[in-house]
Structure 1
Amino acid sequence: MNAILILGGTGEGRELAALLHHAGIEVITSLAGRVAQPRLPVGAVRIGGFGQYAGGDGVRGLTDWLRENGVRAVVDATHPFAATITGHAAEATGRAGVALLRLRRPTWDPADFPGGDRWHRVATIDAAAHCVSRLTHAGRRRVLLTTGRQDASAFAGIDTASFLIRVVDAPTGPLPPHHQILRSRGPYDADSERHLLTENRIDVLVTKNSGGALTRAKLDVAGPLGIDVVMVDRPAEPPIETVVDTAADAFTWCAEVVR
C-alpha cells in the first residue's frame, strides 16, 4: 500500500484529504469518534482509537496498524489540544519507520485582535476555572464557555456566574448550577457572534487557543465589546521534525513522499 494516513478531525485534515483524493493518492482518515456526527472527509475513513488493537495501548496499537496496513506516511492533523494522539503518533511512526508530518494551524496572538490586552492567558482548564471564579467575584457574571463538552465540568463549582455553554454534543458530566446549553457547530461569522454576545450580555468569554479561521470571529468582536477573554494555552507537543500550517503545504509534502 502507498496510502497516506491522516489523523483527522479538523478542517485542515478534511481539506488535505480532498486534495490527496483528487490527485489520485490513496488516503485514509482516522477519526477519534468523540463527536456523534462528525463531518466526514472524502476517501476512506476509520473511526475509533487504536488502543483496541493492543489492549488499550494506543502507541502499540497504532504501530501495529501502520505495519499491517503498509502505510507510507502519517499526517497528524488533529486538533491542537489532542496532545495524547500527537504523542502516540510521534512514538508509533518512529517504531514503525513511517514518515510523519504535523499539520498544525498557527496560534491566535492577542496582538492581532482588538482588545487583546483583555486576554487572561492560562495553562490549563482548571486554571481557566480559577480565573473565571476570580472575574465573577469582581462582577463579571455572564460567561460564554466554548472549551468543549469534556471540559465543562471543570466549571461546575462556580455558582457566582451564569454560563452559556456552547458545544457540538451535550456535556455528560457535572455542570455549573446556573447554565444554559447551546448546541452549535461553526464556522461562525462576526455578525452572528456579536449578536450572540450582546443578546446574552456576556462579560467573559472562555476558549482554547485553537487557532484558525473557523471560530476566531468571537475574538474579533469580544474586544470592542469590552469582554474579558480567558484563553487556555495549548499543551506542549513532542518535537516533530516536519511541521506545516496549511493543507496545501501538507499536500506538497505527501506528494513528495509517495512519488
Structure 2
Amino acid sequence: MILVFGGTTEGRKVMALLEQAGLPYCYSTKSAVEIPPQTYGAYRSGALTTTALQEFCADNKVRVIVHASHPFATVLHQTIADAGLPVLRFERAYPARTVHPLVHYFDSYDAALDYLAVHPVEKLLALTGVQTISQLSNYWLKHKTLFRILPRESSLEQALAAGFVREDLIMEMPGNEAALISLHGITGILTKESGESGLLSVKIHEALQAGIPIFIISRPALPEGFIPVNEHDLLDHLNGYLVCH
C-alpha cells in the first residue's frame, strides 16, 4: 500500500499516475474534498497525529509515503518525518527568484511583519490564506489589509473567528490578481513562495505591472531524508520500494 498526502494539484497528479500504473494507494487530505473516481485507491480525510499516522500505516501495510501536500504544511511535514517510513516528496515547480527592487523575499512571517512595520503600505492585499489571518493580526489591526480567501463557508467562519471584518474579505479563487489590484486600489501584496501551482509568477508579474511591491514568504525547508521525485521518476522509485521492502 502507498499512502499519498495530497489536497493539491500535485496530489491529483500522483493519484492519476498511480491509477494508470494500477498500484494500490490511499489518498489522504486534511479537509474533505471531492476527488476523481478511483479504481485502485481509497480515500480518507482528517488530520493525523504521528501516533495515528503510524497506526494507520501499520494497519494498512503502508510501505512508502508520497508527500504531495502544500509546501507550507509544516506540521504535516514533521508528522510524516516522524512516522518512520520512506518518504517521496512530489515537489511542485518553482520559478527562479525575481531580482527587482519591488520584489522582497523573507525567511518567515515575523521577518516580513518586521519589515512592514517599518515600511507599511497604504492598502495591503494578503494572499497567504485564511490560516495566516491570526498570525498577521499585528499588522492588519493597524494598517488597512484585505485578505483573499477561498470561497468556502468554512474559510469565512475561520476568518471571522480570527476577528477579521467581513467587508475586507475577498472570497475568490486565485488567478484574478490584476483585477483585484485595480478594483481595490492595492498598494502592496503579501504572498507565499508557493510555486507555479500557486501562481507565484502571475502574482509577481501583476505586482510589477502595477508598480507595487510584493512581499514573499520563502517556502520552509523540508525535513532531511525526504526523497525528491517528479512525474517522470515517481513510479520507478515506488516500484523499488514495493518490490524490495
1:187-221, Cα deviation, whole Å (9 max, x unpaired): x2xxx322221222211110111112342212222
Partner of 2:110, secondary structure, is: helix
248-257 or 198-207: bigger deviation: 248-257
Question: 1: CA distance between counterparts of 2:110 and 2:33?
Answer: 27
Pick from 27, 30, 51 the counterpart of residue 29 of structure 1: 27
Residue 150 of structure 2 corresponds to residue 141 of structure 1: no
> Offset of 1:238 from its aligned partner?
1.2
Residue 203 of structure 2 corresponds to residue 218 of structure 1: yes
Q: Counterpart of 2:147?
A: 165
Residue 109 of structure 2 corresponds to residue 128 of structure 1: no
Q: Counterpart of 1:53?
A: none
Q: Is the 8 A contact 1:16 1:248 kept in 2?
A: no
Pick from 204, 220, 232 the counterpart of residue 235 of structure 1: 220
The letter of the residue matching 2:102 is R
Q: Counterpart of 2:61?
A: 70
11-20 or 58-67: bigger deviation: 58-67
Q: Is the 8 A contact 1:107 1:212 kept in 2?
A: yes
Q: Is the 8 A contact 1:4 1:72 kept in 2?
A: yes
Partner of 2:128, secondary structure, is: coil
Report the TM-score when normalising by structure 1. 0.79
Q: How does 1:46-65 map to 2 (within 5 A)?
A: 46-50=44-48, 58-65=49-56
1:65-122, Cα deviation, whole Å (9 max, x unpaired): 1111101311011111111211221221x2xxx43211122444333xxx73322222
Partner of 1:182, secondary structure, is: strand
What is the RMSD computed on CA atoms of the aligned residues?
2.3
Cα pair distance change 1:196/1:252, threshold 3 Å: farther
> Offset of 1:258 from its aligned partner?
3.3
Ranges of 4+ aligned residues in structure 1 off by more than 4 Å: none
The letter of the residue matching 1:76 is H
Question: 1: CA distance between counterparts of 2:136 and 2:2?
Answer: 40
User: Tell me, which stretches of 5 or more residues in structure 2 are unaligned?
Assistant: none
Question: 2: CA distance between counterparts of 1:116 and 1:185?
Answer: 27
Pick from 81, 86, 99 the counterpart of residue 86 of structure 2: 99
> Offset of 1:27 from its aligned partner?
1.9
Q: Is the 8 A contact 1:120 1:230 kept in 2?
A: yes
Percent identical pairs in the alignment equals 27
Partner of 1:61, secondary structure, is: helix
Report the TM-score when normalising by structure 2. 0.83
Partner of 2:131, secondary structure, is: helix
Q: Counterpart of 1:84?
A: 75
User: Tell me, which stretches of 5 or more residues in structure 1 are unaligned?
Assistant: 51-57
The letter of the residue matching 1:103 is F
Q: Counterpart of 2:137?
A: 156
Question: 1: CA distance between counterparts of 2:17 and 2:206?
Answer: 33
Question: 2: CA distance between counterparts of 1:42 and 1:101?
Answer: 24
1:206-249, Cα deviation, whole Å (9 max, x unpaired): 011111234221222211221111111122321125112x3343
Aligned residues: 231
Cα pair distance change 1:117/1:39, threshold 3 Å: farther
118-127 or 15-24: bigger deviation: 118-127
